[in-house]
Amino acid sequence: KGIAYQPQRTEDELYNSSDIFETNYIDPLAEDEVCLRDLPYLIEFGINTIRVYSIDPSKDHDFCMKKLMDAGIYVVLDLSEPDTSIIRDNPTWDISLFERYKAVIDSMHKYPNVLGFFAGNEVTNDKNTTSASSFVKAAIRDCKNYITDMGYRKIPVGYSSNDDIETRDNLAQYFICGGTSADFYGINMYEWCGYSSYETSGYKERTEYFKDYPIPVFFSEFGCNIDR
């Protein structure tokens, strides 16, 4: 039972404040006060897994990761961050990106409640950006090999996909084909809106589609994207 968890800096903090931040995002696993503030709510909501999109691998995460572990909460981490990621319109998989991904793995592999790593999030989001997914598969391949070469605990490396009707089926097959496969597959799904149902929301069709999928599949984000 999970929730996407990434506190954000306000525009006022980023552009009008006299404070100087090391990153333009908040690393909630390195900010002890943020962790202690939010943990009771996660426990109250019955959350046992959080997805965190950006961390600063140079910071210490011992305190919060221990608090989360004591509460029975697992963490799924994105390896990228907003300024260092595979860009769908001009994709690359290069040394600087790989160094970022390795730094996150080096920093977080030691925590037993790290459930997995995302090598990309909606990198392909329509039929015009499908070629970008090959760069994500390269990232999955290299990160899996790196984890093995370093002798780290075998932490799964997967991908988080959007729910675009034109690409979703082909993408799901692409990430399990060939010599490199994702270890898990996340879907960001925003189809259940208002007084819907399992059948009319599209959840039934997605369940049937993935019933024989050979790797774990889950909602890496879910909700509704219609203004009501």
Residue 81's closest CA among 13, 41, 19, 27? 27
Sign of CA pseudo-dihedral 20, 13, 67, 147: negative
- Concerning whether 11 is annotated as a catalytic residue, the answer is no
- Could you tell me if 105 and 147 are in contact, meaning their C-beta atoms sit under 8 angstroms apart? yes
Q: Determine the Cα–Cα distance for residues 113 and 161; give it in Å rounded to an integer.
A: 23
For residue 201, count CB atoms less than 10 angstroms from its CB and return exposed for 0-12, middle for 13-18, buried for 19 or more.
Answer: middle
Task: Please identify which of the residues 44, 81, 99, 122 carries the catalytic annotation.
Answer: 122
- Could you tell me if 21 and 82 are in contact, meaning their C-beta atoms sit under 8 angstroms apart? no
- Concerning whether 122 is annotated as a catalytic residue, the answer is yes
- Could you tell me if 123 and 161 are in contact, meaning their C-beta atoms sit under 8 angstroms apart? no
Task: Please identify which of the residues 11, 22, 191, 221 carries the catalytic annotation.
Answer: 221
Sign of CA pseudo-dihedral 208, 209, 215, 216: negative
Residues assigned a catalytic role: 122, 221
